[in-house]
A and B are shown apart, each in its own frame.
Chain A
Amino acid sequence: MSTIVFFIFAILAVAAAWGVVTSKNIVHSALFLALTFVGVAALYVMLNAEFIAAVQILVYTGAVSIMVVFAVMLTLRGDVGESSPENKKWGWGLFVAGLVFVMITAVILTNADWRILEGPWTIQNSTAALSNLLLTNYMIPFEAAAILLTVALVGAVILAKGVRENK
C-alpha cells in the first residue's frame, strides 16, 4: 500500500518538476512548481516528518510559489506563451545534467549500505522533539537563521524599492 502511495507522489513530483523546466509558459512553470512542492511534502509525510511537510506546504507551496507568481507578474512582457524559452546552450545543459544524474545514480546504486528498508521509527512526537532540539542544541543556528531572515527581508525591501533618483 505505502509503496503505491509512494510511487503516486514520487511520480507526481518528478513529472511536475519536468513540467517546470520544460514549459515555455512561465506561469505554467510556477504552477507545476507548486505541484512539485506538494508531491515532495507528501513524501515527507511518508518519511515520518510531518512538521517538515507542513512547513513545506506553508512556505513553499504557500509563500514561495505566490512570490514567484508575483515576480512573474511584475516582470512579464510580451507573449506569456513564450515567456520562458530555452537558451541556445540547452543541449549542453541537458548533456551535463544527464551526466550528473548518471553519476549520482551510479553512486546510489553501487552503495550497498544504502540498500536498506525502513526500520522502526522511535520518535513519537516529532514536532515536539524538533522544537525541543531547535531551542536547545540548535539554539544558535536558530537565532542566526532568524537574523538572516530579518536581514533578507530588509534587503529584499530595499532592493525591490529601488534607489530614489536624485533631483
Chain B
Amino acid sequence: MNFSVGLSTYLLVGAMLFCLGLYGLFAKKNVVAILMSIELMLNAVNLNFVAFNRFLATDRLIGNVAALFVIVLAAAEVAVGLALVIAIYRSRQTTNVDEFNWLKW
C-alpha cells in the first residue's frame, strides 16, 4: 500500500473530529453532552495546530504554544461551563437546552 501519512491526513482526522463535535453541538439535548462536543472540537483544533507545527515549521514550537494555550482556555471553559450548568440545574431543574429559552422576547 503506497500510502504515507502526511499533513493532509492529520488535517482530515482533525476535520472529522471537528465535524463530529459540530454534529453533537447541533443535535444533543443535554447541555453536558454539548460541552463534550465542544471539547471534541477544541481537540480537533489542537491537533491541527500541532500538525501544522510539525510539518510547516520544523524548527519552531509556535503551534505547540498555541495548543497549550488552547488547552488552558479549554480547562477554564469547562470549569465555568460546568459551574453554569450546575447553577442552571439548581434553579431550573433541567439540563435540556431546549428549555433554556427564557431570554426569548
**Which residue numbers of A lie inside 8 Å of B, CB to CB?**
2-3, 6, 10, 13-14, 17-18, 20-21, 26, 29-30, 33, 36-37, 40, 43-44, 47-49, 51-52, 55-56, 59-60, 63-64, 67-68, 70-72, 74-75, 77, 83-87, 89-90, 92-94, 96-98, 100-101, 104-105, 108-109, 114-123, 126, 129-130, 133-134, 138, 141, 145, 148-149, 151-153, 155-160, 162
Contact = CB atoms under 8 A, between A and B. Distances in A.
A44 B49 CA distance: 10
A18 B11 CA distance: 17
Contact of B33 (A26, A105, A160): A26
Given A109-B8, A114-B8, A117-B4, A17 B21 contact: yes
A2 B69 CA distance: 28
Contacts of A122: 58-59
B95 A52 contact: no
Interface string B57-93: 0111100110111011111111110111111011001
Given A96-B26, A156-B82, A160-B86, 16 more contacts: A10-B13, A20-B40, A26-B32, A49-B50, A59-B75, A68-B78, A70-B82, A71-B32, A71-B82, A75-B95, A89-B26, A92-B26, A108-B15, A130-B61, A159-B80, A160-B87
B27 A94 contact: yes
B18 A104 contact: yes
Nearest to A90: B27
B67 A49 contact: yes
Contacts, number: 253
Given A33-B36, A48-B54, A52-B50, A20 B20 contact: yes
A166 to B, nearest CB: 15
Contacts of B76: 148-149, 151-153
Which of A64, A98, A119: most chain B CB closer than 10 A? A64
8 contacts: A51-B64, A52-B50, A64-B78, A77-B93, A87-B28, A115-B8, A126-B61, A152-B80
